[in-house]
Amino acid sequence: MSAPQAYTDATLLRMLRAYATLEADGQTMSAIALAEQIGMAGGTGPGLRRACVECGWLDVVEPPRGSLPGRLRVTSAGWAALDTGVAAAPVKAVPYSRAKALRALRLVADAEAAGSTISGPDLGVALDCSEQHGAAIRADLLSRGWVRAAGWLGRTSVLRLTVLGWDALVDAPPPQKGGQSALRQRRCLCCGSDFASEGVGNRICTPCKGTTAFQSSEVTLHAVARSRR
C-alpha cells in the first residue's frame, strides 16, 4: 500500500525509525510526545502513526487507552522500508528464486556467526548483482520469515536468522565449489560439538542426524541447542 500523500516518504520513515528505536529500547510513548521528541509538531503524531499502520509498517500490540500511550511493533514490511530507505514495496516483479534466497541467507548466517550483519548493498555485491537488488533480496528474506531485525548497526538493521531460516539452511543442499564441498569446522546445533561441515546449511553432525529427535523434525530442538552456543 502506498503512503498517504499528506506526508512525504521521508517524514513517514522518520516517524517509523523513531518507533523502531522505542521498540529496541523496550519503551513506549504517545504519538504526540514521539513526534515532538524528533522535532515535529506534536499534533502530526497521531496522523503519522495511523499512516504507518495503514502502510503495514506498524502492528498495534496494545491500543492507546485514556492516558496510556499503547504499544506498537515494527512489522517485516516496516523493517524492509527502513533498510531500503524507500516507502514503496521492494522493487521486484516476482519473488526471488529459493536458490538465490538461500545464497543470500548463507551470507547473513556467516555475518551472524562473525557477530556482525550484512547491508543490502554489500549483499548485492556479494551476489554479483546491483546494490538495489541486494536491498530487495534482504527485504525478501524478511518477508519469508527467515530472518528478523534485531536492532541497528550504524544505519543498517542487524539481521538474525529465525528457526525457519535455520531450517531452510539445514534442508538445503550444501554449496558446491569446483565440484567439491569446502569443509569447515562448525558447531552442531543439536549437541554443540564441532564437526567437519560442508557449508552453512550443514549444521547438524552425522551422529545427531541419526537420532529419533532429529528424524522427527522437532524444530524446537534446533532452537534450544542454538541458544546454548
Segments in the chain below pLDDT 70:
1-6, 86-95, 154-155, 173-185, 196, 198-203, 212-229
**DSSP 8-state class, residue 91:** S
As a whole number of angstroms, the distance between CA 82 and CA 76 comes to: 10
pTM higher than 0.85 for the full model? no
Residues 156 and 117 sit within 8 Å (Cβ to Cβ): yes
What is the rounded CA–CA span in Å between residue 156 and residue 149? 10
Q: What angle do CA 199, 112, 217 make, to 5 degrees?
A: 55
Report the distance separating Cα 62 and Cα 65, nearest Å.
9
Q: Give the model's pLDDT for residue 216.
A: 57
Q: How far apart are CA 87 and CA 56, in angstroms?
A: 11
Q: pLDDT, tens digit, for every residue of 61-85?
A: 887 777 777 788 888 778 878 877 7
3-state secondary structure of 128: coil
Q: Which residues pair with 156 in a beta bridge?
A: 153
- In angstroms, what CA-CA distances link 156 with 5, 79, 104? 27, 10, 16
In order of their start, the domains of the chain are: 9-74 (1.10.10), 98-165 (1.10.10.10), 173-227 (no CATH)
